[in-house]
Amino acid sequence: VANATTPANLFHLLRRQLKLNYRKPLILFTPKSLLRHPEAKSSLEEFIGDTMFKPYIEDVSITKPESVEMVILCCGKVFYELRKERAKRKLDGKVAICRIEQVFPFPYSDLRKDMSQYTKADVFWAQEEHKNQGWWDFVNSRVAGVVGRPVEYRGRAPAAAPSSGSKLIHEEEHEIFMNKCFS
C-alpha cells in the first residue's frame, strides 16, 4: 500500500513490483493531480543508476537537524502544500516535513533512522483528509512506537462526508488546516 509523491519513486515502485518473482498485490493511492503538479518533478538521475523505491523520504532541505523544532509527517500530495506553506511562513530549517511513501509494510527502520536526529523536535501527523478518513488511525501507534512518545494529529475533525461541498468553505477549512499544522 503506497502513495508515491514523485515520478521517480512511482517508477521505482512499479518497477520493483514487476521484478518480483511472485505475484503480490500493490495498492496505489496516487492522485491524478500530481501528474500536472509543477513541483512534482524528478531529475533523470533519480531514475537511473542504483536508485530505487524509497518507502520513506526524509526532508533533504534540513542542514542542521538539532535546530528543528517540529517534524511534520505526512503521506501524499499534502506534502507539496505543507512545503509551500512552510516557505510562506519562513520556517525553513525549523520545520522538517517528511513523507511516508509506503504505508504498508510500514517503513519502521527508515523512520527510526531519520527520527533519531530530531530528538528535541515535536512530531506531528498531518493529513488533509478528515481524522476518520485518512491514514491517522493506521500510522498513529506505529509512529509513536518509533519515536518513543505520543504523536499529535494535525488535521480536520472527523466527518461523515469527505468534503464540505462548497469551494468557499473548503478554502476556509484548508486555511484552518494549515494554521493547525504550523502552530
Q: Does 88 score more than 90 pLDDT?
A: yes
pLDDT, one tens digit per residue, over 131-181 is 888 899 999 999 999 999 899 999 888 888 777 788 898 899 889 999 999
Q: Does 11 score more than 90 pLDDT?
A: yes
pLDDT of amino acid 162? 78
pLDDT of amino acid 159? 82
pLDDT, one tens digit per residue, over 24-69 is 999 999 888 888 888 989 999 999 988 899 999 999 999 999 999 9
Q: Does 17 score more than 90 pLDDT?
A: yes
pLDDT of amino acid 160? 81
* Sheet order of strands, 56-57 included: 56-57, 95-100, 70-74, 122-130, 152-156
Model confidence, pTM: 0.91
Question: Which residues have a Cβ under 8 Å from the Cβ of 99 and sit 6 or more positions away?
Answer: 5, 56, 57, 73, 74, 75, 76, 79
Check whether domain 54-181 has CATH 3.40.50.11610, yes or no: yes
**Domain assignments of the chain as residue spans, ordered by start:** 54-181
Q: Does 116 score more than 80 pLDDT?
A: yes
